[in-house]
Structure formats: C-alpha cells, structure tokens
Structure 1
Amino acid sequence: MIFATPHTAAITDGRTLVLLDPETGTAVLPGGKPESRDQGDPASTLRREADEEAAARLGTPLLIGHVADPARPRSCLRYAAALTGIGPTRPDPATGTTYTRILATPEQAVSLFDWGPHTSRQLAAVHQARQRLGIPRAARQAVTELTGTTSW
C-alpha cells in the first residue's frame, strides 16, 4: 500500500493510493516484476513501477510482508511507502493502460480487492506499516480521484 501523506495544517492524511483499470474497473496496487535496471532491489522495483503506472513519487519503502499466490508457486512482496507526489497521468509503458488514480482509506481500499480470507491480515499489515511510517489512521472521507500534479 502506498500512503498519501499530504499535510494540511500539519495533519497527515493517511489514505492509500489505488489504481483502477478504466476499462474493467479492476483495482490494483502499484507494483510489478523486477527488471535488470532495478539491480535486484525490490524497493527500486516498487519505485519504478509506481512511477510507470501512477506517476507516483514515494518516500522510503518499508517491507511489510508477502502474499502467497495460490495459482502459482510464488509469493508477492508487499511494501508500504509514503506518497510524496503525483505527476500527470500517462500510460503504463508495459500495458498502455492509463490508470485512474484514487486515494482511499485502507478500509475502503481493501474492499476493492478480492483477497478472500487474507483480507483481515492484509488490513492488519497496512495498519502496522502505517504506524511504522508514522502515518496516523485516515479519517472517514470520500474516495478522491487524483487528476493532476500534486506534491506533499
């Protein structure tokens, strides 16, 4: 999960960046497969993928665990980082998809995913990461679409 950390009167927001496929409405988190230019560093992969898919700039990524892929013999690493800025929307170079970028509370975000019985553990990991990153719990609020360039 990537947390938004905009400051208004020194109050941190605490919402999560979620990407929506404009054709299917499917929710995804920024991320992807390592490339040689990442030099074997998963945090570099996350930074690159967040930039490619969402034009997002991140603080220091924090490893929060992994999720097993029941369809394949692999796991996906899960990282969290503070969202420090968003650039203008553009197509993901790997897929050509220009995602709709939204900010949602972690509870709203997990409701968009089909994580089945792992949902409660995912949400607990998000809140642990939020605490470790020093980000307060997000207040209840409407989901917000990010359409322009913003930095926090």
Structure 2
Amino acid sequence: MPQLTDQGAIDHGAIDRAETDRAGIDPAATDGAEAGPAAPDDHERAGTWMTPEEYGASRAAVWTAAVVLVTDTDGRILVQSVDYRADRMLPGGAVDAGEAPSAAAARELREELGVEGRYPRGLAVDWIPADTPGFPPEMRFPGEILHVYDGGTWTAERIDAVRLPAQEITGIHFAEPADLPALMDAGDARRALSALRARINGPGTALLEDGRPTAPTALDRLGVLRTRRTPLHGPWHPGPVPEQLPVRDHCGWLFGPDGRVLLLIARATGAAHLPPPTAGPATGAVPLGYRRAAQGAHARTAARLTGLPPAADPAYARLLATPEQVRELSDWGPAGADELAAVHAARARLSLPVPTRTPPTELPEDGVCW
C-alpha cells in the first residue's frame, strides 16, 4: 500500500535538523551558512508517497449489498418475487451510506417480509465484476460486494407471520435448491447454492467471485445439490423391518472413528446417497429402523467401519460427513429428526464421539484402514 502524505504539510526544517543530527554537525556552526537545496517538487518525490487526493482517486469504487439465505424445515430456500423483474431473488438489497451490511440485512427483511431479526453469521461474500451482464450501460455499474447472511431455518409458524409490503414484493416461495437456476439470474443462483453449501460445511464464510468459491470444498467441487433430492417422507419406525414387508432398498449409517458417517456423491449429478451396509468391513452392525413406502420399506443399518476398500465404482465420490450434514443434503420430511435421533443413539452405543461439523472430507480412492 502506498504511503500517504500531505505534501504541503511536510516540515522540511524538521527533516533538515534530523539530517544534521545524524551527521553529528553542530547546528550553531551552520548559522548564516548557505541554505541547502530546496525541497523537491511533487514530481521529484522518491518512493511511493501519495497525497490523500491521489490515493482516494486510485481506489476502486463498488456498490455494497446484503441478502439473507433462509430455508424451511425441508431444506428449501426462500425466494421472493418482485414487481420490477421476472426472476426471483433472495430477500435483501442495497446497503445504505454509512450502514453496516448486517444492519442492512435486518432492515431489508423487516421492510420486505415484515420479519424482525438479527443475522450476525455471514455465509458468503461475493465479488460481482463490473462487466456482469444485465446492467444497463447508463447505470454505470461499478461492480459490487454482496454479503450473504444466514437467516436460519424457519418453522411454519414463522413463515405464516410474513407480511408483504404494499408494493415491490409480490410473493414468496420455498424452492428446491436444484430449481434455483431456473428461477433466478444465473449469478444469483450460483451465489445462493454456494452459500447453502457453506452453511452445510460448517463455521466459516465462503469467499466468492461471481458466485464461485475461490477455495472450493468437496461439496462445491462435486456440485452437490445441483439436482433435485429424492423425497423420502414416510414415517420412521425403529428396529428391524417386519418379515411381511418387502425391503425396497437397504442403506447403512456407517461410522468412522471420529463419529462421522460414510456418504456417497454421484459425480455425474451431485446427488447424495447413504451407502449400502456392505460398503466396507464393519463391526457392531444393528438394524436401526426403516421407512415405510408404497413399494416396501427403506431399511437402515448402523455399524462401525474398520476400514474402507479401494473404490469399486468411480462414478461415486466417498465422503465422511456428520449425520446432520447427511440430513441437510436429503429430503426426508419431518421424520428426518426421528431418524437422526436414532443415528446418534447408535453412535453412542458404539462408543463413538459426537462429530464436529467441518467440511465433508473426500476419502482416497485407494481406501483407508482404521
């Protein structure tokens, strides 16, 4: 960063005295002597000195905005319709002069949805370049820094409390994450999905450039949530599947030593799946429960992995994730909370720790041994 100075305020006499002191010259001996050379003009200044005016003129000017990412209990994202454009948007808007971005986020939700709240946790900060399509030339769009805040998960009661203003906001809708590119501007959809993945990853704010993370995580690299999740909303039943009920599919909650579980991600679609219970050598296997469906039961087994063989199917990436992250990547309806409680009860029986939420870790294709 250049050094700042007000050239007219420089005390050249003080500089001369300092130079005299360093040279060991008695100031009295110089009384009446010929004055030294004049101070250099501005164009002769050495180094990177700049006046405040020069420095201010050299800085980039950008707009600032703040939006809020809100989900419902099924993991769908709140988007709103407005009266001035066709595509949908996250709630939020421009940061006023002298206003903090988090304060702007709270103000915008109060004005647009009639909801009071504070949103201190940032999910993402996005740099939107000046040449982004869609801005009229006469607007002279200089680029924008956009903050995405976490609005949390809203219950049905809080959603019912939304009150729209008389103009601007014409409606709200909760959208499946994979549907955002069809509903929103392309950059807005990229930003919303990146922010949602950042929320699932855990603490920490994602830095984005035009909606794309500068340091992509496994969820970003694999494009998780870019295709619709398969809904599985049947009620949860603990224990083994009854003999008279056919098993439609059988998946495993397979724990690693840190309490996280194995998760498969289809590389072609980004879809998340629990693995089969035979995905690796395991101990302590127990029937965890099942979900009833029209075609039969979706069975679940819990076990502790002792290792993982080399990947047999290159179409899938293998990750370790917390049980909560698995649920957030799935569409399980209200009974998802019951299944999650059963998973943690099984983890405790296996004497495994409560896992810390960190970004899901992709496991090596050549396998691991614990």
- TM-score, scaled relative to structure 2: 0.30
Measured in 2, the distance between the counterparts of 1:83 and 1:104 equals: 14
Matched, 1:16 2:261: yes
Query: Whose relative contact order is higher, 1 or 2, with alpha carbons under 8 Å and at least 6 apart?
Result: 1
- State which of 293, 298, 301 in structure 2 corresponds to 1:76: 298
Q: CA deviation at 1:73?
A: 3.7
SS in 1 for 2:284: coil
Alignment-derived partner of residue 4 in structure 1: 256
Measured in 2, the distance between the counterparts of 1:27 and 1:17 equals: 11
Alignment-derived partner of residue 321 in structure 2: 104
Q: What value does the CA root-mean-square deviation take over the aligned residues?
A: 1.4
The 5 Å alignment of 1:37-76 reads: 46-47=277-278, 50=279, 56-69=280-293, 72-76=294-298
Q: CA deviation at 1:27?
A: 0.8
Measured in 1, the distance between the counterparts of 2:288 and 2:309 equals: 26
Measured in 2, the distance between the counterparts of 1:66 and 1:90 equals: 27
Question: Which ranges in structure 2 are unaligned for 5 or more consecutive residues?
Answer: 1-252
Measured in 1, the distance between the counterparts of 2:324 and 2:301 equals: 17
Structure 2 counterpart of 1:58, one-letter code: A
Q: CA deviation at 1:2?
A: 0.8
Q: Which runs of 4+ in 1 moved over 4 A?
A: none
Structure 2 counterpart of 1:128, one-letter code: A
Structure 2 counterpart of 1:139, one-letter code: T
Aligned-residue identity in percent: 41
Alignment-derived partner of residue 130 in structure 1: 347
Alignment-derived partner of residue 167 in structure 2: none
Q: Would the aligned equivalents of 1:89 and 1:98 in 2 still touch at CA under 8 Å? A: no
Q: Would the aligned equivalents of 2:256 and 2:320 in 1 still touch at CA under 8 Å? A: yes
CA shift digits 1:67-88 (9 cap, x unpaired): 112xx24112211111111122
Q: CA deviation at 1:134?
A: 1.3
Structure 1 counterpart of 2:302, one-letter code: A
Structure 2 counterpart of 1:30, one-letter code: P
Measured in 2, the distance between the counterparts of 1:142 and 1:26 equals: 17
Q: Would the aligned equivalents of 2:283 and 2:306 in 1 still touch at CA under 8 Å? A: yes
Q: Would the aligned equivalents of 1:67 and 1:76 in 2 still touch at CA under 8 Å? A: yes
- TM-score, scaled relative to structure 1: 0.71
Q: CA deviation at 1:149?
A: 2.0
Alignment-derived partner of residue 367 in structure 2: 149
Q: Would the aligned equivalents of 2:268 and 2:315 in 1 still touch at CA under 8 Å? A: no
Number of matched pairs: 117
Measured in 2, the distance between the counterparts of 1:22 and 1:101 equals: 10
Q: Would the aligned equivalents of 2:284 and 2:350 in 1 still touch at CA under 8 Å? A: no
Matched, 1:119 2:336: yes
Question: Which ranges in structure 1 are unaligned for 5 or more consecutive residues?
Answer: 6-12, 32-45, 51-55, 92-96
